[in-house]
Structure 1
Amino acid sequence: MSVNRHVHKFGGSSLADAGCFKRVANIVAEHSQPHDLIVVSAAGKTTNRLLKIIELAKQADDATGEALKGLIEFQSKLVNELLTEQKAKQIVSALDREHHQIASVLEGELSTFNINQLLSFGERWSARLLAALLSELDCQAEWLDSREFFKAELSAQPQVDVEQSAPLLAQCLAAKSACRIVVTGFICSDSQGRTVTLGRNGSDYSATELAALADAISTTIWSDVAGIYSADPRLVKDAQLLEQLALNEASELSRIGSSVLHARTLEPLARSRQKVNLRCSYAPKDGQTLIYRKGIKSNAAKIVTSVDDIVLLELTFKQDFSRHATGLLAELAKNHLAPATRHKHSETGSLRMAYTRELVDEALTRIDHLAAQFQVQRVERSEGYCLVALVGAGVCDNPQQCYQFFQQLAEQPLEFIHSSADKLSLCAVVRKITLEPLLKELHTNLFKQKRKLGLVVFGKGNIGSQWLSLFAEQKAELEQRYPLSLSLAGVFSSQRGQLDFTGLDAKQALTGEPNLTLIWPDLFDKLSRHPYDELVVLDITASESVSAYYSEFARRGFHVITANKHAGASEQANYTALKTSFADHGSHWLSNATVGAGLPVQSSIQHLRQAGDQILAISGIFSGTLSWLFQQYDGSVAFSELLADALNQGLTEPDPREDLSGNDVQRKLLILAREAGFSLELDDIQLQSLVPERLAGLALEDFLDAMVELDEPMLQAYNDAKRQGKVIRFLAKINPQGQAEVGLASIDERHPFANLKPCDNIFAIESQWYKKNPLVIQGPGAGREVTAGALQADLVSLCSALS
């Protein structure tokens, strides 16, 4: 049986002292579940202290013993501050034995493997201590040495052998009890069982690799920052936290040299289902950045980044410069040694490559190894440079941002500018300068510009026309409130429409001459070339064919605002796939207008669940038409006469059977149930139609003539209820067991559902917090004005989310 696991990783800064350990333990208790895996680094500066001790031992320095004693005392102090006396005594005793073990190794040959063995103690101490602390806090945990399952051979950048490691991990997890498992980061073992360290940022890499091997749903990397910002927040105070970033953009940022996230950490994402979240362990409520696997259509930079210490390598070649330079770059990339940026100069036959100081020596070693193969004649190393870059899918196709970048860099001591082949970055190398003023100016010029939103509307009926009028009235206010420019790009009916990327007048769009026949492949081809930062589709139809394209909207990164119930009430597998697709592509699917018109029903359920509440049951009257009919019906007038009156007033659909069948109410209940966390199909909801089977198959005119056949059963139901002191109402409900039904019911005359204003809907939401006294939402549940208002409210929510 598969287990839905999550991985949480805590770095050394998150475990710097006893207070940090307690904070991490509280985070684990609140944000993880049994079976989750917790990856830890060495506490604080433990690894640096071990390296210093090793260096002293190599020099036979008398200070070695004192330095080791100080480190053991630091670890013992952590244990004594965090654990009860009995448990602390056991771990301190183990630390004493390890003290002697380390001292013994330091006196012998300090080979690479012995050094790795010594460095492994940092992670082992952290894992053991955190597992013990969690268990004492009634959050049962065990710890696991990753050398038992992670297999990798010694190299400059060791790569975990997936084929060897996966079955070993499965065995380790199967042997553990059903509890959280704290795993050591950074370390693994080779085929001979010797300790191998995973190199730079190995703990983050081991966390995502562990998630891939364990088929985990997500990896959360907790550090001292909340995630990735539009610029370094230490230098640019108004930098914004990016809530979402595509994997290819995150990979490009890390390749250039970002200290927040490293390229190796992201490699396992491509072959696993996990998503990666970046969060701050010091302030868990400060937001997060989600790295999602699939890229989306974009044409703008999201991040201004920089590296303030860059080394340039200039290579010349004996012959065939272009072919050998291309081949060398490819070989370096294969070995995870691609430069942050580079510049080919065909006239001089030279290749200039920019490296971080962290990577340059390793790159030089590799270049020396490949020199003969690629006819490298000379390598010159120059220091004293820094790098400035824009990162974001399609940035190289954004003329405004490119112009701003070139203009700003033209005033600096520029060496070269290079755009990446995949159009993910634009990089400039300059002589060393103070970067802060340049970054601030670039950030202001690039990201304080208004983002452009294009809106494409499907549906020109009563609600569509009402929304267009509302949009025209509120467009200026929205653009003043948010840093956005809104443009109505298209309006379509079922067969034809208008599309104009320069913008349509909202009030004239209904009467304007169509310039396109609605052929979906052709329309998608045109929409794929839109000039906006974001495209929003408003589906104001009841068309199942329009809803069938939601997956394509999501795949292209379009946002969807809908009053159409078909997608939300489709088969569970399709509904789940749609939700996943919108999330994976960083798009929003807002559907508050599908139930209750302008009433905040779905949003209330969403807010309760996001706050940690659990929805137990939902009930109410979900149809304005049926609400009106049964509020008016008292047996004195035939039900068919009342129905005819409602039809003449426009309170029913043109075919009243659409209301009387209860199908619309059934779909609404399904949508709310899914929002509440229930997994249901439409057929799981028991439906009692008010239309007799014989009348259901008649032509509309024949049905209208035969409506009198409804009178007797309705009068009987009314009288049966009246004898019990009750009234009849058409109700929808789902109970905590997931049993759902829609149909006519008898309720007490004093019941809240019994006394509504004409056409009102009412929704009662029972939850853990609202168990004894349900949350009740009541008001008009239909009508062009309130439904258009619900669509506009969703647009406002989207504007807020995109700002």
Structure 2
Amino acid sequence: MKILKFGGTSVANSQNILLVENIIKKESSKDRVVVIVSALHGVTDLLIQGAENASEKNDSYLQKLKSIEEKHLQLVKELIPISEQSSLLSFVKKHCNDIEDLYNGIYVLGELTDRIKDKIASYGEFLSSSIIAARLQQQKSDCLWMNSSELIKTNSNFTNAKVNFDLTENNIKNYLDQHQNQIIIGPGFIASDDQNHITTLGRGGSDYTAAIIAAAVNAEELQIWTDVSGMMTADPRLTSNAKPIAEISYHEAMELSHFGAKVIYPPSIQPVMIKNIDLTIKNTFEPEALGTLVSHNLNISEKEKQQLVVGISNMGNIALLTLEGSGMIGIPGISAKLFQCLSNERINVILITQGSSEHSITIAIHEKDVLAAENAINFSFSDDIELKRVAPVTIETGLSIVALVGENMKSRSGVSAKMFSCLGNNGINIRTIAQGSSERNISVVISEKDAKKAVNVLHEEFFESEIKQIHLYICGTGNVGNKLIEQIYEQNKYLRENHLINLRIAGLSNSRKMIFADTGISKNEYSNWIEIGKEASPKGFAEEIISRNLRNSVFVDITASAAVPEVYESLLKRSIDIVACNKIAASSDFEQYKILKNTARNHNCSFHFETNVGAGLPVIGTINDLIKSGDKVTSIEAVLSGTLNFVFNNYDGNRTFSEVVAQAQKEGYTEPDPRLDLSGTDVARKILILAREAGYPLQFEEIENIGFLPEACMQGSVEHFYEKLTDYEDHFKTLFLNAKKDGKILKYTAEFKDGKAKVGLQHVAPGSDLFHLYGKDNIVIFKTLRYSEQPLVIKGAGAGAEVTASGIFADIIRSI
């Protein structure tokens, strides 16, 4: 014999019931079956809401009843031939009249007891099972309707009754022995007490009904038919990459269902587990799909045996209650007293944790029970609170539980570390931790707003280790930004296939517009993103990134804006990595620079700005490696401006200085305002950054800047600047000729030595390492304790959109 249970979505309408009919006929052609059905989808909620409306003297209960009646009458008309509808329509009408009588009584009394609530809730299953049985009988199936509420006997704990298994099993065996029909259909969820008053088995009780019957008759199999193809590795509403679980143990299924996996009602597993009956979870709408087998006898592959975690479960709307005080230390019975007062209020404790000091006990409960729990605990411990031995209970709401579940976690070291590390690296703060001695479950309580992110992070870590998903938020889409985005689209396939990394551009912003797409902005969408973007600001862009709270997020700043670095700290505090081409943050006030570095360190994220100096050259990374290995930088000599090097390499007095600068700007080597480069401000920032990375607490104001531009060139607009360059052409030609007559060339250099830094235009002789530096190249010469005789030299292209973009790209990969 097989037991089949169909949930509310499976019997939501006539089309679905016809699918159910086909499944029943197929299964009953091979075995005798007992079919348990839920109420039509949403009907139980409507029934209870109607009763609650009536108790509040809200006349809308009549509308809800009308909706319930119409839903069932329509179902009869669609499933049963007109000639045979009359008796069943009358049956539905009679029961709806009975519900109305109950509602009217509640309305008059203004009171809704649990006993009446159970009576009202029972009508959903009575009606649905009766209509489906009538449909099968009309189809000439050997089908009998069974009133399972008369067979399953419970105590009188209405709305969540406890089953008397000995009496119930005898009733079920006797009934099925006496009635040998091939198909027997009955309502789930409902039972009765010793006085034959209707009781219910709690939400999800239809699963429980089916499990009780399966255990009573030692069924060959229990099938739970629902709207998903079995249990999943995580909630598919939270992670699109959730995978079906082919086989799972009873204990694992129980842990997953207890912590929020709604595919199966947790108590349903116990009866069939004791009798070692296989439980299969199947999809009504994809009956050929394998589903999930829950069993003691699993046929697990070698690969699956190596899988530490079988699933990730989560439960929202959680509150933490903490009872603490010095009066609890070493005093027996405190925990018993706490749990007893909660039990008296019928409050379910989901998770418990207690410090080894015995100074506090923390429990997790559903948020709906918070007020009752707070009052019960404070009342129960009122004497201790008054004597200051115990503090009033503290409450924290807005939380979720996320649990890792798997038999293979037993005695395997490193699972907890792996879990906590990947949560911490994504800025997810853990409020409390619990792990049972069975080692099948590691549970953490986190903020509700972090639940989706946590499930995705953990799912990626334990089930999708082959690909790591990175979400990029790019601020700045000028020359360099466009080159970077092109490189990402071109390189992403290679990164996926060879480095198991998938880069997803989840947000874009410029000074006017911004756009977001959690699943990634495609190459086609990028071509016209400004047209569909919304109004942007650095603060608004950062706030949106934080609110989306996606895992493995990287913020990329490719601007020269002073406003953008103002959002860095808030992003770092949410463990969002930052990659900055913008030099302002790293060259700002030294204390602010340290705050950003420390914030990144304290929140397990990275703050990379390699392209601040030398574009794509590994300058800052080299300093970091030297310092980490115990070396010390004693001096730096450098040409750090690709722009200025390009300008002075190309200025020979034949073309005007203004024309050469314009060429540099046109080819993308300068900032939008070239004066930032030509004034030496940009070079001063770069040497400042290098000195700081080398461990020297230098401020920008301490750098000596020997300028070469006339003061008049620094005034007014960019257009005015170019006019003044032309006016001062004799000045620039004189600079060039003075160097030339000594057999030297002009280079704008930066120097750091003895804790001091300076920048300025220098005459460089042919014997200098700085002399043979062409085009837009940069050079940095380090002297250190280890490189004292022969300095360490880094040389190469130091400007240009392509190389700068590649440097930013390298920083992105470095941050992963």
With normalisation by structure 1, the TM-score equals 0.51
Q: Does the 8 A contact of 2:252 with 2:440 survive in 1?
A: yes
Q: Does the 8 A contact of 1:83 with 1:133 survive in 2?
A: yes
| Aligned position for 2:4 | 8
1:475-514: CA deviations, max 9, x gaps? Answer: xxxxx9xx9xxxxxxxxxxxxxxxxxxxxxxxxxxxxxxx
Q: Give the deviation of 1:179 after TM superposition.
A: 2.2
Secondary structure of the 2:417 match is: helix
Q: Does the 8 A contact of 2:352 with 2:361 survive in 1?
A: yes
Q: Give the deviation of 1:310 after TM superposition.
A: 1.7
Higher Rg: 2
> Following the alignment from structure 1 to structure 2, what is the Cα–Cα distance between the partners of residues 194 and 30?
36
| Aligned position for 1:83 | 80
Q: How does 1:135-214 map to 2 (within 5 A)?
A: 135-155=137-157, 157-214=160-217
Q: How does 1:681-692 map to 2 (within 5 A)?
A: none
Secondary structure of the 1:108 match is: helix
- Residue of 290, 293, 315 corresponding to 1:290: 293
Secondary structure of the 1:31 match is: helix
Structure 2: stretches of 5+ with no match in the other structure = 107-111, 467-496, 501-816
Q: Does the 8 A contact of 1:151 with 1:189 survive in 2?
A: yes
| Aligned position for 2:313 | 305
> Following the alignment from structure 1 to structure 2, what is the Cα–Cα distance between the partners of residues 446 and 247?
21
Q: Does the 8 A contact of 1:57 with 1:107 survive in 2?
A: yes
Q: Give the deviation of 1:119 after TM superposition.
A: 1.6
Q: How does 1:649-688 map to 2 (within 5 A)?
A: none
| Aligned position for 1:636 | none
Gap change, CA 1:326 and 1:392, over 3 Å in 2: farther
Equivalent residue letter for 2:93: D
| Aligned position for 1:69 | 66
- Residue of 132, 135, 138 corresponding to 2:134: 132
Q: Give the deviation of 1:121 after TM superposition.
A: 1.0
Matched, 1:314 2:322: yes
- Residue of 393, 397, 409 corresponding to 1:379: 393
Q: Does the 8 A contact of 2:43 with 2:68 survive in 1?
A: yes
Q: Give the deviation of 1:358 after TM superposition.
A: 6.4
> Following the alignment from structure 2 to structure 1, what is the Cα–Cα distance between the partners of residues 205 and 341?
20
Matched, 1:123 2:119: no
> Following the alignment from structure 1 to structure 2, what is the Cα–Cα distance between the partners of residues 445 and 345?
29
| Aligned position for 2:444 | 428
1:130-176: CA deviations, max 9, x gaps? Answer: 11112233332111111211111122631210122122222322332
Q: Does the 8 A contact of 1:316 with 1:350 survive in 2?
A: yes
| Aligned position for 2:92 | 95
| Aligned position for 1:355 | 365
| Aligned position for 1:240 | 243
| Aligned position for 2:428 | 412
Equivalent residue letter for 2:37: V
Secondary structure of the 1:399 match is: coil
Q: Does the 8 A contact of 1:269 with 1:293 survive in 2?
A: no
Of all paired residues, the percent bearing the same amino acid is: 25
1:644-697: CA deviations, max 9, x gaps? Answer: xxxxxxxxxxxxxxxxxxxxxxxxxxxxxxxxxxxxxxxxxxxxxxxxxxxxxx
Secondary structure of the 1:121 match is: helix
| Aligned position for 2:668 | none
Q: Give the deviation of 1:194 after TM superposition.
A: 0.6
Q: Give the deviation of 1:429 after TM superposition.
A: 1.4
> Following the alignment from structure 1 to structure 2, what is the Cα–Cα distance between the partners of residues 367 and 303?
34
> Following the alignment from structure 2 to structure 1, what is the Cα–Cα distance between the partners of residues 80 and 252?
43
Secondary structure of the 1:442 match is: helix
Q: How does 1:26-37 map to 2 (within 5 A)?
A: 26-32=22-28, 33=30, 35-37=32-34
Q: Does the 8 A contact of 2:147 with 2:186 survive in 1?
A: yes
Gap change, CA 1:322 and 1:37, over 3 Å in 2: farther
Q: Does the 8 A contact of 1:396 with 1:425 survive in 2?
A: no
Q: Does the 8 A contact of 1:243 with 1:287 survive in 2?
A: yes
Q: Give the deviation of 1:369 after TM superposition.
A: 9.7
Q: How does 1:407-556 map to 2 (within 5 A)?
A: 407-410=421-424, 411-449=427-465
Structure 1: stretches of 5+ with no match in the other structure = 451-479, 484-803
Secondary structure of the 1:228 match is: coil
Task: Choose 401-410 or 117-126, whichever is displaced more.
Answer: 401-410
Gap change, CA 1:170 and 1:308, over 3 Å in 2: closer
Q: Does the 8 A contact of 1:394 with 1:424 survive in 2?
A: yes
Q: Give the deviation of 1:432 after TM superposition.
A: 3.1
> Following the alignment from structure 2 to structure 1, what is the Cα–Cα distance between the partners of residues 401 and 17?
36
- Residue of 32, 41, 59 corresponding to 2:56: 59
| Aligned position for 2:581 | none
Q: Does the 8 A contact of 1:299 with 1:393 survive in 2?
A: no
1:707-750: CA deviations, max 9, x gaps? Answer: xxxxxxxxxxxxxxxxxxxxxxxxxxxxxxxxxxxxxxxxxxxx
Equivalent residue letter for 1:316: E
Q: Does the 8 A contact of 2:341 with 2:380 survive in 1?
A: no
Q: Does the 8 A contact of 1:185 with 1:206 survive in 2?
A: yes
Equivalent residue letter for 1:353: I
> Following the alignment from structure 1 to structure 2, what is the Cα–Cα distance between the partners of residues 369 and 158?
27
> Following the alignment from structure 1 to structure 2, what is the Cα–Cα distance between the partners of residues 322 and 237?
49
> Following the alignment from structure 2 to structure 1, what is the Cα–Cα distance between the partners of residues 242 and 183?
36
Gap change, CA 1:166 and 1:387, over 3 Å in 2: closer
Q: Does the 8 A contact of 1:321 with 1:350 survive in 2?
A: no
Q: Does the 8 A contact of 2:160 with 2:200 survive in 1?
A: no
Secondary structure of the 1:148 match is: helix
Q: Does the 8 A contact of 1:157 with 1:198 survive in 2?
A: yes
> Following the alignment from structure 1 to structure 2, what is the Cα–Cα distance between the partners of residues 333 and 229?
33
Q: Give the deviation of 1:38 after TM superposition.
A: 0.4
Gap change, CA 1:333 and 1:290, over 3 Å in 2: farther
Q: Does the 8 A contact of 2:423 with 2:457 survive in 1?
A: no
Q: Does the 8 A contact of 2:73 with 2:89 survive in 1?
A: yes
> Following the alignment from structure 2 to structure 1, what is the Cα–Cα distance between the partners of residues 257 and 105?
39
- Residue of 402, 411, 423 corresponding to 2:416: 402
Q: Give the deviation of 1:433 after TM superposition.
A: 2.5
1:548-599: CA deviations, max 9, x gaps? Answer: xxxxxxxxxxxxxxxxxxxxxxxxxxxxxxxxxxxxxxxxxxxxxxxxxxxx
Equivalent residue letter for 1:21: I
Q: How does 1:217-296 map to 2 (within 5 A)?
A: 217-293=220-296
Q: Give the deviation of 1:443 after TM superposition.
A: 1.7
Matched, 1:345 2:355: yes
Gap change, CA 1:366 and 1:351, over 3 Å in 2: same
Q: Does the 8 A contact of 1:217 with 1:273 survive in 2?
A: no
Q: Does the 8 A contact of 2:232 with 2:243 survive in 1?
A: yes
Q: Give the deviation of 1:211 after TM superposition.
A: 1.0
Q: Does the 8 A contact of 1:257 with 1:340 survive in 2?
A: no
Task: Choose 432-441 or 368-377, whichever is displaced more.
Answer: 368-377
Secondary structure of the 2:407 match is: coil
With normalisation by structure 2, the TM-score equals 0.51
- Quote the RMSD (CA, aligned, Å): 3.4
Equivalent residue letter for 1:220: Q
> Following the alignment from structure 2 to structure 1, what is the Cα–Cα distance between the partners of residues 254 and 209?
17
